[in-house]
Chains A and B, each alone.
Chain A
């Protein structure tokens, strides 16, 4: 065959070894192939099989036969048979497929389609299909993976490239046609819900959503031209980190775009009123592929929100006409906590960023907690604590200003709420009413009463942290560098000490430190380290804080009290004076002195020993006043003889049992009513007091705890591998050090707590009913390993408890009877039971049988009704404190007939001074208060004391300011000579340490001798000074 162009060169037929004619250079064999379209879209999943076509042109000089089309990956495209007008070549016939003969210059279109296998490879179905599906046998899945575009694991394929190559005869090396198969784009709203906040300044006609909407292209590719919405009032503005892209691809950059939504106010107004969301159908107008697409989770929900605001629910009753205002009080020079409740009144969570007081308040109001920013869910109420510390001022002032709350709702909108704040500041003044303190072993309370006839002035309990009965516990947080201790008392200390380790920090037995002169080792909560604190300082710390907080509650009561006619009672007059303090009958004079000294250091001066009264005595007075009208009714009012009523009080306290027999003398001129008690003339005489400090409510609790322990060990030995050891640690004044000891301490505390709960449970039940312990977790050592074990279902009955304490109760009954018989009586008029353990049914029944029930009336509480429960004991009234308040009130209102008692101590003040002279420096200070110096010991604290220090004392009977030069001369004239002499090797440092730890004490005796006692190295060195 000659070259058709030059007709010269002979072409070897059949093979395409000569693509060009070697003679004339003309192109002999050339086939151009192009695919149409090169981008194939389909709509998954039932989008059919998209059609493609190959446009084949023979641009050579010789005919070419297209035999087959090879697709890569194989089987992803299918080209149907063609009805070729030319006879099928032999080669094609052998392969079983028709061939397409292309004459020179001929153009043919070869139609085909993308097969289902390709679409399945591109969009794999969610459920795995069986491998023997139709058509899958020919296709190796491994082939598909190599041809697919590389995408991240777990993502659907973005696109699929299929290359088609023509097989021709003669064989030509033709470039492949590539088809890119994509699914039609599918969009997803990444932010199906947007929040829209109304804003107060309405100068803009539109409002923009707080956050940016985002749309993701889930699959395919798209060139987005425009964002549209079906609502004309809503405008979509492409913005943010992913603005409108020219081409969006599902695999790349997560295929996302972001936009912002603007809504006109006019359109928004009805939605704001009814709170319904705006449903906006989004449309994406695409240029490639042309069309409009909507995200599959359209429409977009736009939630309209009104302007968020904060409410202050606690201030409802302070609502003035125009604005809400927080009015409160403050004491000059004293700081107190102020709590304010804030409620989120909006429909969205808000976040309070900052609370800033006005500049006029900045020095007085300090935010304490919680830490900002504070997140509030809708309708959530949070309490915010401030520390009010108005500066020292000597006149009544009023601080006014605003608290500014900055809070945020949504993402970027910040709002302000201003709360006017007015603080009335008063200088603390002494309280003109009376007070009575019951410093108990387990709980402490304080009652106050005004000295007038108003019903609101009756004795009432003050509250500390909203608790009238403050647990007598203390928790030390830390010690400052200046030596100031930071601590909590009462419920705050208990609340801060929950946990295994934290239980070590709480000191439960505060009262037992009275009169103890050694140091107590405590664990600081903040640092976890131990430090030494004098035992009496713990009592002082507790009492000081308790009275401080009680005075605040009193000021608050006075501040909230409605004004009375003609009374100018200011809330600043809250400093407690005239306080009657109850003590157990078993207190020794030294203990009483220690109590009085601790109260003095806590800021309460007891002018007289009469301010210290046995607890059952004043507790009995409460019962007496309650019985007064009855007694008056029983007797003839015309009788002029004085009436006597004997009251026997049985106080089963936590630490000790107190008994007192008192006698109330009613004078004839006494009036009937107690309220108008100025006319009542009556006298209280203490006949006798008894006490048992070995038995109290705690004794019952401890006995019960030990019983629980026995039962628990019996249970655990059955369940756990032997040997089972339950560690216990119940030594007072000694801290556990080892891990096992700490576990034992924890066990002991838990046992006590559960025993207390069981005791309370039994007190509410009848005598035949039993109470069961549900669960209790103890730290046990089993098989050499420490582990936590739970015991349960230990039943306790009243009978069991009675067996534990029956002997002691019988002893008490015997003591009560002896007291009565010694007084020459058969039975008292009233047997009064106080103390929470007296609520136990067997105690009551035992006491009810103690005396003849016809003559003796047994009274349980103020109104004669039993309390609901023991814990929390808010329901139980403290007869001791309230009775003390009654007693004092009655006394101070002039209803008291003074009995002929021993002469009162000299009212003239005795001042005892102690001077220290070290080198050229002379320092001295007043050590002891004005009165009641005799027979009490005072601890002298010194600083700068050395071996050469000359300690001089002077005593003066003067009152008024000190004249230093004169007293310095007195000091210098008094030498210091201990007997026996101090050890010769006593160094200055040791001496200073002795004094600092309270080993130097003074005692003024009744025969006007001053004893200076120094305890050094186990010996007592004394200086006897005659004043």
Chain B
């Protein structure tokens, strides 16, 4: 007999490697070819809720679509066969095919109590790559696997200094950045990194009380941060190198209200608009390009919207007309695209990218992406009244998480609005808190229990809706 070293896999067991848990282990468990639904996930999530069976690991698993090998959810290539993978694209693809109106036998509502976190202290939460991250005041940032909510198992907790209040999470999904989240607060930006193992570091911290962080945009290897000076009502830009965290001051400053900025197709260009003009900034050269707004000006509360494929920029004017702008030839000016709704609050694309959706206070209209012809509209009278009061609306596939207001104005509750005709609304239980906004998981939504509905003031809880 030939003696094998422990490094050498015997011939027959070489393929075991692809079934091993991809995360570091003392002894990696072998995951089967198919993992049954665990912890409340349904079999309809196509395996995106799979976690390692090791109770000390419980990390989310992404299966290769070609060879079935286990991968980390943040992997972009299969570690065994090299197949291209993307957890988020797979998730969106699955969610786009889901319809909550179709009854599912796995439909459930589950409440998970998080110990040691005070009720109402959760200020922001987000999901991505199978993880759920949330920030709680005076507690820090927690990281859990989506499918490991019940029983709750905190994967990581990053304690923060007092006053480092995180108001929102921005997912980091840039080719040059490892997946993770930016936890953005008023004065601090944390970078929560998911690979190679969860880590969190402070990316930027403001010391001047007059300034506050408005937004952070990843442009290549750097992060562009827009700061707002409350005293002077002006905007300044900083550039932070992703690896060295070296801060560079960018040359521009603007006064007055302005919309949120978006990154253009090139990594070194961003665009925002004020009421009078749309501005394109080049981060490398420092040049600015301007195009004037139409006579009534732009609505600065609605951020510009970029078509994911053509790169066209859509802006909403104060005259409720949607304008179109070619970012490559910004000097040509804007052209009217369609006549939108009154007092519109949001512009967004449907998942197929062929319809521009405009959301206003109680109305939803869809426009054909090329010609701007309105294809259908959801009016106030035909559905329960709804409103959108989030700064950036969360979507669950082709559904939008909205706040539904009851007819009598008695109260508000969360609801799920279908962005396809006829635009039905599914009201969610009233126990779910309106803020922070619920996040989507492969099987449904995760929301925070209202503090007043919690059994104890000492412990916050998650509500998990499975459709």
Contact = CB atoms under 8 A, between A and B. Distances in A.
B77 interface: yes
Interface in A63-86: 67-68, 70, 74
A16 B17 contact: yes
A111 B71 CA distance: 39
Given A12-B24, A94-B5, A27 B196 contact: no
A694 interface: no
A24 B5 CA distance: 31
A68 B7 contact: no
Contacts of A23: 75-77, 178, 195
A801 interface: no
Q: How large is the interface on B (under 10, 10 to 19, 20 to 34, 35 or more residues)?
A: 20 to 34
Given A17-B20, A22-B72, A165-B11, A91 B79 contact: no
Among A10, A14, A165, A167, max chain B CB count under 10 A is at: A167
Nearest to B178: A8
B14 A171 contact: yes
Among B74, B84, B196, max chain A CB count under 10 A is at: B196
Given A8-B178, A165-B11, A169-B5, A20 B17 contact: no
Interface of B (DSSP majority class): loop
A117 to B, nearest CB: 16
Q: How large is the interface on A (under 10, 10 to 19, 20 to 34, 35 or more residues)?
A: 20 to 34
A11 to B, nearest CB: 9
Nearest to A22: B75
A25 B76 contact: yes
B232 interface: no
A18 interface: yes
A22 B79 contact: yes
B352 interface: no
Contact of B9 (A8, A24, A171): A171
B2 interface: yes
B82 A20 contact: yes
A296 interface: no
Nearest to A167: B8
B8 A9 contact: no
Contacts of B79: 17-22
A170 interface: yes
B22 interface: yes
Contacts of A94: 5
B342 interface: no
Contacts of A20: 77-82
Among A19, A24, A168, max chain B CB count under 10 A is at: A19
A20 B72 CA distance: 13
Contacts of A529: none
Interface string B181-194: 00000000000000
B77 A70 contact: no
Given A9-B196, A12-B24, A19-B80, A70 B178 contact: no
A95 interface: yes
B245 interface: no
Interface in B168-189: 178
Interface of A (DSSP majority class): loop
B15 interface: yes
Interface string B16-39: 010010101000100000000000
Contacts of B71: 22
B198 to A, nearest CB: 13
Given A9-B195, A20-B81, A91 B5 contact: yes
A17 B22 contact: yes
Contacts of A720: none
A25 B5 contact: no
A15 interface: yes
A91 B6 CA distance: 8
Nearest to B70: A17
A110 B5 CA distance: 21
B77 A10 contact: no
Contacts of B82: 19-20, 25, 27
Contacts, number: 81
Contacts of A173: 9, 11, 14-15
A21 B77 contact: yes
A173 B14 CA distance: 6
B17 A22 contact: no
A25 B17 contact: no
A21 B77 CA distance: 7
B5 A95 contact: yes
Contacts of A167: 4, 8
B3 interface: yes
Contacts of A14: 7
A173 B76 CA distance: 23
A19 B77 CA distance: 10
Interface in A48-105: 67-68, 70, 74, 91-92, 94-95
Contacts of A68: 2
Nearest to A14: B7
A946 to B, nearest CB: 108
Contacts of A12: 24
Interface string A476-516: 00000000000000000000000000000000000000000
A226 B195 CA distance: 68
B7 A15 contact: yes
A64 to B, nearest CB: 12
B176 to A, nearest CB: 9
Contacts of A19: 79-82
B334 to A, nearest CB: 40
Contacts of A70: 2, 11
A109 B17 CA distance: 29
Contacts of A22: 22, 71-72, 74-79, 85
B210 to A, nearest CB: 37
A171 B75 contact: no
A67 B5 contact: yes
Nearest to B15: A173
Interface in A706-737: none
A22 B76 CA distance: 5
Contacts of A170: 7
A67 B8 contact: yes
A95 B7 contact: no
A87 to B, nearest CB: 16
Nearest to B76: A23
A704 B440 CA distance: 132
Interface in A1-50: 8-10, 12, 14-25, 27
A68 B76 CA distance: 34
A67 B7 CA distance: 11
A992 B370 CA distance: 130
A27 B79 CA distance: 9
Contacts of A24: 76-77
A952 to B, nearest CB: 119
B225 to A, nearest CB: 23
Contacts of B2: 68, 70, 74
A167 B11 CA distance: 9
A71 to B, nearest CB: 10
A95 B22 CA distance: 29
Contacts of B14: 171-173
Contacts of B5: 67, 91-92, 94-95, 169
Interface string A844-870: 000000000000000000000000000
Nearest to B176: A8
A918 B5 CA distance: 124
A90 B75 CA distance: 32
Contacts of A27: 82
Leading 6 A-B pairs by shortest Cβ distance: A22-B75, A25-B77, A173-B14, A10-B196, A171-B9, A20-B82
Given A17-B28, A25-B82, A91-B8, 9 more contacts: A9-B196, A19-B81, A20-B81, A22-B22, A23-B75, A25-B84, A91-B5, A167-B8, A172-B14
Interface of B: 2-5, 7-9, 11, 14-15, 17, 20, 22, 24, 28, 71-72, 74-82, 84-85, 178, 195-196
10 contacts: A10-B195, A19-B79, A20-B80, A22-B77, A25-B77, A67-B5, A68-B2, A70-B2, A91-B7, A169-B8
